[in-house]
């Protein structure tokens, strides 16, 4: 797959899925094998547990994670003891998880491993930095469930999005759901000067006036919007929401007479917890939505089989998705 060569340009990568069972582990195994073949030093960890033999929800067989000589990995103490490979310990984190301390190790002989890593993105960022210090060229974070937060550019440099029949057995619904997330990933970035002014703000709703100055509106969260919405536009129509953004804010903005001049800036697409219908209405009414930093989407992969047993035609589905998104979609097993 041609996207593997692109990974040389990044230091960290997240693999995230639209739903559980969209083929993240299959994609990870493919990438690990190819990176090993082309000589890229690689490290891997997970948020949550990944690599189990049996799906905990559907009781179906799952692919196990295969690591190669020279790779590094982080997993919990419990799962490190269950590994089926030869490795040496590089570091043991003093912080404890429910499954014991986190162990960093280097693979000496190819084999299989269960990954259970950090519970927070903050710890993940620290681990990625440690991998870089260890001389690792590419750190990969495999997302448990559908944790899109891993794809934030504040966590990893690049991302791969996994979609498939588990999202919907109906191709048109699958296309619609995937296209919506794809649109959010590719939202326009705001200006570098604004990004610099907003970079240290971590919470609340703020306004930017016509001179580019930033003003605190005194609204600590979009969920407290009702306490200050009467004065929301006293500095102008450009707003910055530092935390999560829900349908409520977009609905409120869409109902304003100045909606055609409204510009909403968010940190990145992972902060958007909005429905396609509300987003579409906001855009149709003239509202603008920007991000401080866009995620680097390297590839979209397809798993044509669902855990319920139905299978989509891989070639036709990849073709339909590629045409709808205007970008390649890959089935790594095809």
pLDDT digits (tens, 9 = 90+) for 196-226: 999 999 999 999 999 999 999 888 877 667 6
Residue 48 confidence (pLDDT)? 67
Query: Which of the two residues, 147 and 106, has the higher pLDDT score?
Result: 106
Q: How confident is the model at residue 255 (pLDDT cuts 50, 70, 90)?
A: very high
Q: Which of these ranges, 36-50, 54-68, 249-263, 305-319, has the smallest mean pLDDT?
A: 54-68
pLDDT exceeds cutoff 90 at 282:
yes
> What does the radius of gyration of the chain's CA atoms come to, in whole angstroms?
21
Residue 53 confidence (pLDDT)? 52
pLDDT exceeds cutoff 60 at 91:
yes
Residue 11 confidence (pLDDT)? 96
Residue 227 confidence (pLDDT)? 52
Determine the Cα–Cα distance for residues 52 and 24; give it in Å rounded to an integer: 13
The rounded percent of the chain whose pLDDT value lies above 90 is 72
Determine the Cα–Cα distance for residues 327 and 83; give it in Å rounded to an integer: 38
pLDDT exceeds cutoff 90 at 99:
no
Residue 151 confidence (pLDDT)? 83
pLDDT exceeds cutoff 70 at 58:
no
Asked: is 3-186+295-330 a CATH 3.40.50 domain? The reply is yes
Q: How confident is the model at residue 60 (pLDDT cuts 50, 70, 90)?
A: low
pLDDT exceeds cutoff 80 at 62:
no
Return mean pLDDT, the chain.
90
Q: Show the CA angle centred on residue 171, arms to residues 166 and 174, nearest 5°.
A: 50
What mean pLDDT comes out for the span 163-183? 95
Q: Tell me the two tokens of residue 110.
A: 């190819």
Q: How confident is the model at residue 122 (pLDDT cuts 50, 70, 90)?
A: confident
What mean pLDDT comes out for the span 104-109? 96
Determine the Cα–Cα distance for residues 162 and 144; give it in Å rounded to an integer: 12
What mean pLDDT comes out for the span 83-97? 90
| Distance spanning both ends of the chain, measured CA to CA | 10
Estimate to the nearest angstrom the gap between the alpha carbon of 320 and the chain centroid: 23
- How do the domains of the chain map onto residue ranges? 3-186+295-330, 192-291
Q: Note whether 312 and 287 are within 8 A (CB).
A: no
Residue 96 confidence (pLDDT)? 79
Residue 289 confidence (pLDDT)? 98
């Amino acid at each position: 797959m041609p996207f593997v060569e692109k990974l040389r340009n990044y230091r960290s990568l997240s693999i995230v899925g639209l739903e559980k069972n969209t083929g993240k582990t299959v994609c990870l195994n493919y990438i690990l094998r190819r990176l090993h073949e082309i000589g890229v030093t690689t490290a891997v960890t997970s948020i949550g547990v990944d690599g189990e033999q049996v799906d905990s929800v559907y009781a179906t067989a799952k692919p196990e994670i295969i690591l190669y000589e020279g790779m590094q990995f982080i997993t919990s103490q419990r799962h490190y003891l269950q590994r089926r490979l030869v490795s040496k310990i590089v570091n043991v984190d003093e912080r404890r998880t429910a499954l014991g301390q986190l162990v960093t190790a280097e693979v000496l002989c190819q084999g299989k491993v269960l990954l259970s890593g950090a519970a927070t993105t903050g710890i993940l960022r620290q681990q990625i930095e440690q991998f870089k210090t260890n001389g690792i060229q590419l750190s990969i974070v495999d997302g448990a469930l559908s944790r899109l937060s891993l794809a934030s550019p504040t966590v990893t440099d690049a991302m791969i999005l996994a979609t498939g029949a588990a999202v919907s057995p109906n191709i048109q619904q699958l296309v619609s759901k995937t296209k919506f997330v794809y649109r959010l990933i590719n939202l326009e970035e705001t200006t570098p000067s604004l990004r610099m002014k907003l970079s240290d703000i971590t919470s609340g709703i703020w306004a930017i006036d016509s001179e580019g100055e930033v003003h605190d509106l005194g609204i600590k969260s979009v969920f407290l919007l009702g306490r200050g919405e009467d004065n929301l536009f006293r500095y102008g129509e450009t707003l910055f929401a530092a935390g999560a953004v829900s349908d409520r804010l977009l609905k409120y903005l869409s109902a304003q007479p100045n909606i055609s001049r409204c510009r909403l800036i968010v940190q990145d697409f992972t902060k958007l917890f909005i429905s396609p219908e509300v987003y579409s209405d906001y855009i149709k009414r003239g509202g603008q939505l920007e991000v401080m930093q866009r995620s680097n989407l390297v590839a979209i992969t397809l798993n044509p089989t669902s855990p319920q047993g139905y299978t989509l035609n891989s070639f036709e589905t990849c073709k339909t998705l590629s045409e709808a998104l205007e970008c390649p979609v890959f089935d790594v097993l095809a």
